[in-house]
A = this chain, B = another copy of it.
Amino acid sequence: MAGLKPLKGMRDFLPPQQIRREVLFEKIKSVFRRHGFDPIETPAIESWDVLSGKYGAEEKLIYRFRDRGDREVGLRYDLTVPLARFFAANQGNLPRPFKRYQIQPVWRAEKPQKGRYREFYQCDIDTIGSKNSLSDAQIIAAIRDALVELGLSDFTIRVNHRQFLRAIAHRFGLEGDMEVEMARILDKLDKVGLDGIRKLYLEKGFDEGVVNTILGLIEESPSIERVFEFVGDAGREAFDNLGDVFRYLDMLGVREAVFDISLARGLDYYTGMVFEIVLNNLKIGSVAGGGRYDGLIEVFTKYPVPAVGGSIGIDRLMTAMEELGLLKEIPSTYTQVLIAYRNASPEMMEYVFRVRNMLDFLNVDVYSGDADLRGQLSYASSKGVRWVVIVGEDEVQKGTVGVRDMESREQVEVPLNELADYFRMRNS
């Protein structure tokens, strides 16, 4: 018999953790709905044909196996490729543009390490079927508003456009691998600084003059206009798109967005605007990101379909919220009141249920084990229940209950006819 713990890189979520996750997901969903996104779900298992060839070198991390019908299948690696398959399969029944959110687990056979898991939830929104810059802005605004709804305020939204990076590369004759390498190294600016980047470029055999010119531009923290001036007409689409995106973001009340030419984003399939949200003053990396990927859906539809999307990194976000003290208000149980009793005689239990039915506007746990009153109080505290209503022979006779606040450890006697009001006052 193997250990009782979950497999490496997988997790059990106990009630205190799961409640936090439920609260987070509910808030995020409510914001996505507010921006006009609707939910979908797709199966965990996809045909291998659907998954293969979409993730580059990461393909080897897919959980791949043969099912009982000897079909080659795999567990979904992200929610984007399944979305593309979904869109192609169901396009006749979907509005266009199609705006969806999706919150489901994905599986990656990665080497587990701090904050990296083999099963984790992705929380995605995407708009399929629109090239309009407003759809780019809506993705950023919806994710930004979700973070604000969760209580975050001190963050920066870095925005760039892949065409700018391509245009810079092409200006210096960098194509193919070298073009990819240029962007990949630039993306490390945050981590290694200008000197670190210079070193990486030179190591990879970039011409020193080219490197100097590129780093000179980066050092300026150039505006959109400045980059457009630098690359010329090859950056026209990026220039127009980003201008619209920032204008719409302003109308949508998003004040945290800044243009940042050093942002590249890892994924190969991005073609246009890319963004990333980083929490200021927290060394935790980005908590959300995304961009436009106008080439991916076509793999399934066989005709071009533009798309833009973004994703919130739930695990990292929870770590950040924990550090910022934003999870303190979330209780470790949904139960608001435990009803405890001195013995389980039929008369006592009649009274217990009378009390319970008076409190039907609350989450009430009637103790269902066999411990004595002391054990019932320790049940309440191990579960994290704030209030315990205590019933004994005296209380039954007097028509009262004891109400114990497990936080202050104070206990008062409350007549039955005042009990509902007692909690209504404390619950509002």
Binding site for B on A (CB under 8 A): 1-8, 10-15, 18-19, 21-22, 29, 33-47, 49-50, 61, 63, 65-69, 71, 73, 75, 85-86, 88-90, 93-97, 99-100, 105, 107, 109, 118-119, 127, 129-132, 134-135, 138, 247-248, 251-253, 300, 333-335, 338, 344, 346, 349-350, 353, 357, 360, 362-366, 368-370, 379, 382-383
Contact = CB atoms under 8 A, between A and B. Distances in A.
B247 A36 contact: no
24 contacts: A2-B50, A3-B89, A4-B85, A7-B47, A7-B71, A7-B73, A10-B45, A11-B43, A12-B42, A14-B40, A14-B93, A15-B100, A18-B39, A18-B40, A18-B41, A19-B38, A34-B364, A38-B333, A38-B334, A45-B119, A95-B382, A130-B368, A132-B369, A138-B366
Contacts of A357: 253
A34 B44 CA distance: 31
Given A4-B300, A6-B46, A7-B46, 9 more contacts: A7-B67, A14-B40, A33-B334, A33-B335, A38-B333, A67-B109, A96-B379, A132-B344, A138-B366
A134 B366 contact: yes
Q: Which of A69, A252, A362, A369 has the most CB of B within 10 A?
A: A369
A86 B119 CA distance: 16
Contacts of A349: 134, 248, 251
A127 B370 CA distance: 13
Contacts of A43: 6-7, 10-12, 119
Contacts of A3: 47, 89
A388 to B, nearest CB: 12
A127 B368 contact: yes
Contacts of A134: 344, 349, 366, 368
A68 B63 contact: yes
Contacts of A19: 38-39
B94 A130 contact: no
A339 to B, nearest CB: 9
Contact of A131 (B12, B90, B370): B370
Given A363-B36, A382-B95, A369 B7 contact: no
Contact of A39 (B15, B67, B75, B100): B15
A94 B5 contact: no
A109 B68 contact: yes
Given A45-B107, A86-B12, A88-B4, A251 B39 contact: no
